Copies of this chain bind each other. A is one copy, B any other.
Amino acid sequence: MNRILFNEVVTRDGFQNEPDFIPTDAKVALIDELSRCGYAKVEVTSFTSPKAIPMLRDAEEVMGRIRRVPGVEYTVLVPNVRGAERAMESHADELNLVMSTSETHNLANLRMPREKSFEGLKAVIDLVAGKAPVNVSLSTCFGCPMEGEVPQEEVLRWAARFADLGVRGLTICDTTGMAHPAQVARMCEALQRRFGHLQLTLHFHNTRGMGLANVLAAVQQGITRLDGSLGGLGGCPYAPGATGNICSEDALHMLQAMGYETGVDLDRLLAVARRLPEIVGHEVPGQVAKAGPISDLHPAPASVAELRRAFA
C-alpha cells in the first residue's frame, strides 16, 4: 500500500488547454526528460481529430520520436475507432478512452449523448481486445459544472458497464475541481469494494485549492494510482484564472514526504518543472518548483552568529 504509481498527463491534458502551439521538438524533448524521472506512466498525446485539437495534431510524430524507457507505460487518449487504429499503429502501450458521467457535459464536450459515447467506446474495446490494454476515463465524477451533483451511483453504474467489457483500468476524474475530501473518501471506498480487481486511478484538479487534500483522502483509502500534470498545467474553461490539474511535482513531493514510494526522482523532476514556464511561455501554478522541497534549507543570516556570541 506504500507504492504510488503516478501518471504524468502534462503533454496531453496540460498542453491541450494551452493557446499557442507547442513545437513537436519541445514536446518530444519534454517527454524524454519526464521518461527519465521515474514515472509509472506518461500520457503522451491524443489521437483525436487535428481540427478538434490542433495542439495535438502531431500525435504520430511525437509517438514515433520519443525514446521509450523500459518500465514506463506510454498511454494515449483515444476518442473513437479511427483514433484507436492510429494509436495501435503508433504502438501505444495503453489506450485511454473517455466519456462523461454527466449527460450535459458529454453533450457539451463530446457532442453526443452518453449512450452514443458508450457504443463508440465499446466498438474501440472490441477492436483492440487482446491487442492493447484499455483504460476508461470517466469525466465529471465528482460534479458537473453545468448539472451540479453527479450521484455516486451514476458513476458506479458507468464504471460497471466498462468493467463488464473487460477494461484493465478506470480513471475517476474530477474534471473541473469540484471534489472535496469527504466525497473522495466515500467514492474511493465504493470503487475499491466493487472494482478492486481493476487498475483504479484518481484524477484531480486544483481549481478550488482542494487538489492535494483530495489526493490525501484517496491514498488514505488505499488508492495507489494518480494522474497529475507538471507545473499544475491544464486550465478549466469554466473558471478563468483558476488553476488546473493537480501539480505532479507538488503531489509527489507531499507523498514522498509522507513516506510513500513513488519511484520518481524529485530533484530531477523539479529541474524539468523549472523549465516548463519557458516551454509554455507563462508562469505555472506549481509551488514546490518555486519554494523548493522541504529538504532545501537556507543559511541563517549573519546576525544569528553575532547574537549567539552576545548571549553566550
Question: Residues on A close to B: CB < 8 A?
Answer: 104, 107-108, 111-113, 116, 143, 145-148, 177-178, 180-183, 206-213, 215-217, 236, 238-243, 247, 250, 253-254, 257-259, 286-288, 290-295, 297-301, 303-304, 307-308, 311
Query: Copy number in this complex?
Result: 2
B242 and A104: CB pair below 8 A? no
Q: Which of A210, A250, A303 has the most CB of B within 10 A?
A: A210
Assess whether A239 is in contact with B292, with CB atoms less than 8 Å apart: yes
Residues of B within 8 A of A147 (CB): 297
The chain B residue with its CB closest to the CB of A286 is B209
Between A and B, 27 residue pairs with Cβ closer than 8 Å are A107-B304, A108-B301, A108-B303, A111-B307, A112-B311, A113-B307, A113-B311, A116-B311, A145-B298, A148-B297, A180-B257, A182-B258, A208-B250, A208-B253, A209-B211, A209-B212, A209-B247, A209-B250, A210-B212, A210-B250, A210-B254, A213-B213, A213-B216, A239-B292, A241-B290, A241-B291, A242-B291
A181 touches B258 (CB 8 A): yes
Among the interface residues A212, A247, A291, A308, which one has the most CB atoms of the partner chain B within 10 A?
Answer: A291
Main secondary structure of the interface of A (DSSP, over half): loop
> Is A287 a contact partner of B243 (Cβ separation < 8 A)?
yes
Most buried by B among A297, A299, A303: A297
Task: Report which of B108, B181, B207, B307 forms a contact with A291, defined as CB distance below 8 A.
Answer: B207
